[in-house]
Each structure stands twice: as C-alpha cells, then as structure tokens.
Amino acid sequence: MRIAFTTKGKDWDSQMDPRFGRTDYIFLYDDESEETLIEDNTAIQNAAHGAGPQTAKKLFDLSPDILITGNGPGGNAAEVLKKSELKIYIGAGNMTVKEAYSAFKEGRLDAN
Amino acid sequence: MKIAIASGKGGTGKTTLSTNLADLCAERKDFPGIILADMDVEEPNSGLFIQREVQKEIIRNKMIPQWDKDLCSNCGVCDSICRFNSLLKLGKTILVMPELCHSCYACSELCPENALPMQMQKMGRQTIFNTDSFIFIESRLDVGQEQAVPLIAQSIEYIDSKYPKDFLVLLDSPPGSSCPVIEAAKNSDFVILVTEPTPFGLHDLKMAVNTMREIKKDFAVVINRFGIGNDAVIRYCSDEKIDIIAKLPDKREIAELYSKGKLVHRDVPEFGKELKKVAKYLKRLSDRRNNQ
C-alpha cells in the first residue's frame, strides 16, 4: 500500500503541512517495500491560481492508495482526485509525519 | 469622465458616497448626464438606495473551453499553457474547471486538434435603470460564479460604447486591492479612495494607494465617518502628498437613514456640505481635462 503525506519537510520527524494545494512536499511511503519518495512541491508557492488542482494532478500521477493531510483538498482539487481511486484521511495537520502514520494505522484519523 | 470609487477596506462608505454623489451631481447639472454604475458585481447594493425603473436587462456570458474527447490527441499542450491551472490532463482525460478559467482562449487557440472550442456560459446580468435624475446601471454576478473581472470589463465596455464621453460616470467599485478593483480603476480617468480614520482604514488605504501607484492612476482620498479613530490617515496623506477631498462626518443620523435605504445629503447638512466639495472637485477635474 502506498501512502502520501502533505509535509513541510523531507523526514519522518518533519511537521505535516495542513494545507493540501500549497503543501511544500508530498512524502510518499510504500509500506510493503518500505521505500520513501519525496516529491518537491515548493514551486507551487508561485502559483497565484489553481494550486489545489495542480497538486491534485501531481498526486494523480503518483497514484498512491491513501492520502493523509490536514484540512483536506478544496473543491477543485477534490474534483480532480475523484478521478482516482485515492482514499483521503484528514486531521493530521498538527502532527509529525511519524505521528500521522501511527494515527492512521490505529484508525484515529477521519476519512474525508 | 469616469471616476472609480474604491477603497482598500470594505464598509468604509463607497456606496454611501457613490449614491449620494450621483444624486447631488444630477441636481447640480455640472455635467450633461450622470451615470452611476454598481461594479461591486459580487454584492451590488447601490440599488437599495435608489428609486428606479428597469429599462433594459442584458445577459452577460463568458467563454470557456469545452473538451471534445473524440478530437483530442492527448498531447497536453492545453495543460502546460494554462496560466490559471484551469485545465488539467489526467491520464487520458482533460478536466476543465470553469471557475478558474479567465477566458483567455490560449488553450483553444493552441490546441493542434481544435478539440477545445470555446462555448458561452452565463455569468450574470447587467441591468439599466431609469431614475428621476440619472442613469443607474447594476451588474450582478450569478451565484456560484467566481470571476468578477470579465463581467466588470464587459459592463464598462458597454458604458463606453453607449454614452457620450462628457457624461460623468461613477463606478461604485469592489473593495480590496486585487483584480476586480484594478479592472474598474484601470478603465477610469480618476480614482477616489474612501477610507475611515482608523488603524484598519489606514492599513488598507496604504494597500490601495500602492495599487493605484502601481497601475499609474491619479487618485485622491475621501475620509468617511470623520470624528472616530485618530488622525493617522490625515498625517499619512499629508506625508504622501495625497489630496483629501472631503471629510464626511460620523453621525448616528446618517446610519439611521442608511439603514432605511435613504440618501443622506439633503437631510444631513454637515454631510451635504462635505459632499459638495467632492462634486466641485470633480467639476474642476473635468474642466482641467477639457482644457488640456
């Protein structure tokens, strides 16, 4: 299973980014191969419009099974993500990546 | 002559100034005709203060691309070209998000397969009213529409094409300092920034001033609710050499009349006196422009 996190940094101890569209990084973890992959999304800060759909497109191309984030995607981004099979969990905005992963494993995060 | 009545902060009195000024200018007959146009298309409210009769209603449309999947070769040019990210290539589909589209035609023109023809979508309407003394025009965006700019642009274009240049056009503009107010201001000859003498008023006035300087528009300030807050707005305007045209007083009576949907300049003499300064300022501005 491949899990994507919206994060402010590149490590397990980094803070989660509560924002979806303007998240700094997408942290991708494959819990079978135990591989991580970091997608740099910092360039999105320059986008005046449509940051949500743009990040959603990136996620669509990465095609993880699960997304863990803070506030959840907005309307346009949600429209894009509907085209994928992705399951979204929210409410992890104030955690570290590690904490968010445990919270998800223990079923403490809300499905969006 | 077109005057945009704008502000940084919302609720400083753009509509109070616009409606009363239109009424006073019509009474003074300094100009051959007066048009008041409510350009705050997301929440037009000038009409609440004006006895009016509908003369004409115009449906306003904008153009957005519609994806034809049979013609599409899935090359992705449209996705890479859109500055507003309103069009995305997702695998084999192209997803168009009409709310983000600015009707720039780039995707439609550059699509090698002509698979993105532009289609009309209704965004709102523009209504022309007759009143006893001036022409009132209201532009109103439909609920759910997010782009104010195309409607403002089309509305001003209509005014430019239908009415003589020597009419005084007052544009009751949207608040803030972003695209909608810029659209109204950039198409005007002069901008009046309405502010209140409070720290919030000053903070947003500075943003509006910077915006007007950036787009190289001449402007001056009207202070509304003069008497509350502090003198920081006056000091700022004096430091920056910005004209203060008038100081509309803060009075409970004004708020009471406003809450009943009534104009105030006749009933509150202190207000009327200051408002006359604005009317005279516009007359001088127009004379100066005509002599140039």
Q: Which residues of B touch A58 (CB under 8 A)?
A: none
Q: Which residue in A has a C-alpha nearest to residue B90's C-alpha?
A: A57
pLDDT at residue B239 in the model: 98
Q: What is the DSSP string of chain A?
A: -EEEEEESSSSTTSBBPS-STT-SEEEEEETTTTEEEEEE-GGGGG-SS-HHHHHHHHHHHH--SEEE-SS---HHHHHHHTTS--EEEE--TTSBHHHHHHHHHTT-SEE-
| Matching residue, tokens 């009132």 | B136
Question: Is there a contact between B97 and A53 if contact means CB atoms under 8 Å apart?
Answer: yes
Q: Which residue in A has a C-alpha nearest to residue B179's C-alpha?
A: A48
pLDDT at residue A49 in the model: 80
Which residues span the domain enclosing A75? 2-111
Q: Which residues of A touch B79 (CB under 8 A)?
A: 57
Strand partners, A16: A7
Check pLDDT > 90 for residue B281.
yes
pLDDT at residue B174 in the model: 96
pLDDT mean over B90-114: 92
| Total domains present in chain A | 1
pLDDT mean over B100-125: 95
Percent of chain B with pLDDT over 70: 100
Backbone angles phi and psi of B63, in degrees to 5: -105, 130
- Nearest Cβ partner of A57 from B88, B99, B100? B88
Contact criterion met (CB below 8 Å) for B40 and B50: no
Q: What fold is seen in the domain B67-116?
A: Alpha-Beta Plaits (3.30.70)
Percent of chain A with pLDDT over 70: 100
pLDDT at residue B102 in the model: 86
CATH class in words for B2-61+123-291:
alpha beta
Question: Is there a contact between A60 and B90 if contact means CB atoms under 8 Å apart?
Answer: yes
Check pLDDT > 80 for residue A48.
no
Tokens describing residue B203: 């903070």
Check pLDDT > 90 for residue B290.
no
CATH assignment of the domain containing A62: 3.30.420.130
Question: Is there a contact between B85 and A83 if contact means CB atoms under 8 Å apart?
Answer: no
pLDDT mean over B161-171: 97
> Closest Cα partner for B89 from B101, B75, B102, B100?
B75
Residue B151: which residues within 8 A CB-CB, separation 6 or more?
A: B41, B60, B62, B123, B124, B126, B139, B141, B145
Range(s) of chain B covered by CATH 3.40.50.300: 2-61+123-291
pLDDT mean over A79-91: 92
Pick the residue of B86, B95, B100 with the most A CBs within 10 A to test the interface with A by mutation.
B95
Question: Is there a contact between B88 and A53 if contact means CB atoms under 8 Å apart?
Answer: yes
pLDDT mean over B5-20: 95
pLDDT at residue B291 in the model: 86
> A75 falls in which pLDDT band (50, 70, 90)?
confident
pLDDT mean over B114-141: 96
pLDDT mean over B33-41: 97
Question: Is there a contact between A80 and B84 if contact means CB atoms under 8 Å apart?
Answer: no
Range(s) of chain B covered by CATH 3.30.70.20: 67-116
Tell me the shortest Cα–Cα distance from B88 to chain A, in angstroms. Answer: 7
Q: Which residues of A touch B96 (CB under 8 A)?
A: none
Check pLDDT > 80 for residue A90.
yes
Q: Which residues of B touch A83 (CB under 8 A)?
A: 90-91, 93, 95
pLDDT at residue B70 in the model: 97
pLDDT mean over A103-107: 96
Question: Is there a contact between B93 and A54 if contact means CB atoms under 8 Å apart?
Answer: no
pLDDT at residue B60 in the model: 97
Pairing between strand B168-172 and B34-38?
Answer: parallel
Tokens describing residue B261: 């949907």
Model pLDDT for residues B168-209, shown as the tens digit of each residue: 999 999 999 999 999 999 999 999 999 999 999 999 999 999
Q: How many Cβ contacts (< 8 angstroms) between chains A and B?
A: 40
Burial of A79 (0-12, 13-18, 19+ CB in 10 A): middle
Tokens describing residue B222: 């009207």
Check pLDDT > 90 for residue A46.
no
Check pLDDT > 90 for residue A66.
yes
Check pLDDT > 80 for residue B275.
yes
Q: Which residue in A has a C-alpha nearest to residue B93's C-alpha?
A: A83
Average pLDDT of chain B, as a whole number? 95
pLDDT mean over B45-62: 94
